[in-house]
Protein backbone atom coordinates (compact mmCIF):
# COMPACT_ATOMS: atom_id res chain seq x y z
CA UNK A 1 0.00 0.00 0.00
CA UNK A 2 1.64 3.22 -1.17
CA UNK A 3 1.39 6.42 0.87
CA UNK A 4 -0.10 9.53 -0.69
CA UNK A 5 3.41 11.05 -0.71
CA UNK A 6 4.79 8.14 -2.75
CA UNK A 7 1.81 8.27 -5.11
CA UNK A 8 2.17 12.05 -5.52
CA UNK A 9 5.91 11.72 -6.27
CA UNK A 10 5.30 8.96 -8.82
CA UNK A 11 2.50 10.96 -10.47
CA UNK A 12 4.59 14.14 -10.50
CA UNK A 13 7.53 12.38 -12.16
CA UNK A 14 5.33 10.71 -14.79
CA UNK A 15 3.46 13.93 -15.59
CA UNK A 16 6.51 16.19 -15.66
CA UNK A 17 8.49 13.86 -17.92
CA UNK A 18 5.74 13.80 -20.54
CA UNK A 19 4.35 10.29 -20.00
CA UNK A 20 0.81 11.54 -20.69
CA UNK A 21 -2.33 9.99 -19.29
CA UNK A 22 -1.15 6.46 -20.01
CA UNK A 23 1.78 6.99 -17.63
CA UNK A 24 -0.26 8.85 -15.00
CA UNK A 25 -3.68 7.21 -14.77
CA UNK A 26 -2.59 4.51 -12.30
CA UNK A 27 -2.12 7.26 -9.68
CA UNK A 28 -5.50 8.92 -10.24
CA UNK A 29 -9.17 8.21 -9.62
CA UNK A 30 -11.32 7.78 -12.70
CA UNK A 31 -12.67 11.19 -13.68
CA UNK A 32 -10.06 13.13 -11.68
CA UNK A 33 -10.52 16.86 -12.19
CA UNK A 34 -8.08 19.69 -12.84
CA UNK A 35 -8.08 23.45 -12.37
CA UNK A 36 -5.70 26.35 -12.98
CA UNK A 37 -6.02 30.10 -13.28
CA UNK A 38 -3.71 30.15 -16.30
CA UNK A 39 -4.74 31.14 -19.82
CA UNK A 40 -3.22 28.18 -21.72
CA UNK A 41 -5.11 25.79 -19.44
CA UNK A 42 -8.47 27.58 -19.40
CA UNK A 43 -10.26 24.73 -21.20
CA UNK A 44 -8.49 21.91 -19.35
CA UNK A 45 -10.92 20.45 -16.81
CA UNK A 46 -9.69 16.90 -16.23
CA UNK A 47 -6.40 15.50 -15.06
CA UNK A 48 -6.35 13.31 -18.16
CA UNK A 49 -6.47 16.42 -20.37
CA UNK A 50 -3.71 18.06 -18.34
CA UNK A 51 -1.40 15.02 -18.46
CA UNK A 52 -1.82 14.83 -22.24
CA UNK A 53 -1.25 18.61 -22.52
CA UNK A 54 2.05 18.17 -20.66
CA UNK A 55 3.02 15.32 -22.99
CA UNK A 56 2.32 17.51 -26.03
CA UNK A 57 4.47 20.30 -24.54
CA UNK A 58 7.55 18.14 -25.13
CA UNK A 59 7.21 18.64 -28.91
CA UNK A 60 8.06 22.38 -28.94
CA UNK A 61 10.10 22.05 -25.71
CA UNK A 62 12.07 18.81 -26.14
CA UNK A 63 14.62 19.64 -23.43
CA UNK A 64 12.01 20.44 -20.77
CA UNK A 65 13.00 19.58 -17.21
CA UNK A 66 12.07 20.43 -13.66
CA UNK A 67 13.78 21.01 -10.33
CA UNK A 68 11.73 20.16 -7.24
CA UNK A 69 12.12 22.80 -4.53
CA UNK A 70 9.59 21.49 -2.00
CA UNK A 71 7.31 18.51 -1.50
CA UNK A 72 4.88 18.69 1.42
CA UNK A 73 2.00 16.58 2.71
CA UNK A 74 -1.01 17.89 4.61
CA UNK A 75 -2.49 14.80 6.25
CA UNK A 76 -5.37 16.74 7.81
CA UNK A 77 -6.60 17.90 4.38
CA UNK A 78 -5.41 14.78 2.53
CA UNK A 79 -3.34 16.63 -0.07
CA UNK A 80 0.24 16.95 -1.26
CA UNK A 81 1.81 20.14 -2.61
CA UNK A 82 4.82 20.09 -4.92
CA UNK A 83 6.72 23.28 -5.75
CA UNK A 84 9.13 23.12 -8.68
CA UNK A 85 10.84 25.19 -11.36
CA UNK A 86 10.16 24.20 -14.97
CA UNK A 87 12.95 24.93 -17.47
CA UNK A 88 12.82 24.60 -21.25
CA UNK A 89 13.94 26.11 -24.54
CA UNK A 90 11.63 26.30 -27.56
CA UNK A 91 13.71 24.42 -30.16
CA UNK A 92 11.11 21.97 -31.46
CA UNK A 93 8.25 22.34 -33.91
CA UNK A 94 4.82 23.19 -32.60
CA UNK A 95 3.82 25.85 -30.18
CA UNK A 96 2.11 29.01 -31.37
CA UNK A 97 5.00 30.36 -33.46
CA UNK A 98 7.45 27.57 -34.28
CA UNK A 99 10.92 27.40 -32.70
CA UNK A 100 11.91 30.70 -31.10
CA UNK A 101 15.13 29.55 -29.42
CA UNK A 102 13.93 31.32 -26.28
CA UNK A 103 13.93 29.79 -22.80
CA UNK A 104 11.91 29.95 -19.62
CA UNK A 105 12.46 29.12 -15.97
CA UNK A 106 8.99 29.09 -14.49
CA UNK A 107 7.90 28.50 -10.89
CA UNK A 108 4.78 26.42 -10.33
CA UNK A 109 2.96 24.41 -7.68
CA UNK A 110 0.80 21.31 -7.95
CA UNK A 111 -1.70 20.72 -5.16
CA UNK A 112 -2.87 17.12 -5.45
CA UNK A 113 -6.05 16.28 -3.54
CA UNK A 114 -6.50 12.64 -2.59
CA UNK A 115 -9.47 10.37 -2.05
CA UNK A 116 -8.02 7.31 -0.42
CA UNK A 117 -4.73 6.51 -2.13
CA UNK A 118 -5.47 8.17 -5.49
CA UNK A 119 -5.52 11.73 -6.77
CA UNK A 120 -9.06 13.01 -7.27
CA UNK A 121 -8.25 16.63 -8.18
CA UNK A 122 -5.20 18.72 -8.94
CA UNK A 123 -4.78 22.48 -8.98
CA UNK A 124 -1.82 24.03 -10.79
CA UNK A 125 -0.62 27.42 -9.57
CA UNK A 126 1.47 29.01 -12.33
CA UNK A 127 2.25 32.41 -13.83
CA UNK A 128 1.61 31.32 -17.41
CA UNK A 129 1.82 34.83 -18.88
CA UNK A 130 5.43 35.29 -17.85
CA UNK A 131 6.45 31.83 -19.12
CA UNK A 132 4.77 32.44 -22.49
CA UNK A 133 6.48 35.82 -22.87
CA UNK A 134 9.88 34.31 -22.02
CA UNK A 135 9.36 31.62 -24.68
CA UNK A 136 8.35 34.24 -27.27
CA UNK A 137 4.82 32.87 -27.44
CA UNK A 138 3.01 35.97 -26.22
Mind listing the pLDDT tens digit for each residue in 87-106? 999 999 987 888 999 999 99
- Residue of 90, 77, 78 lying closest to 133 (CA atoms): 90
Distance CA 59, CA 30 (A): 27
Mind listing the pLDDT tens digit for each residue in 120-134? 999 999 999 999 999
- Residue of 92, 88, 84 lying closest to 126 (CA atoms): 84
Strands (E), the chain: 28-36, 65-74, 79-89, 103-115, 118-126
CA angle 56, 125, 105 (to 5 degrees): 65
Can you give the pTM of this predicted structure?
Answer: 0.95
Distance CA 13, CA 52 (A): 14
> What CATH number has the domain bearing residue 19?
3.10.450.50
Q: What percent of the chain has pLDDT over 90?
A: 93
Q: How many domains does the chain fold into?
A: 1
For 107, the domain range is 4-135
> CB of 86 within 8 A of CB of 36?
no
Amino acid sequence: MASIVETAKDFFTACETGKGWDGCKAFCKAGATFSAQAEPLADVKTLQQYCDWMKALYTPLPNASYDIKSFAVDHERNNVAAYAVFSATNTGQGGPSGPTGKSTRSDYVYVMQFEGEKISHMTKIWNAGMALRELGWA
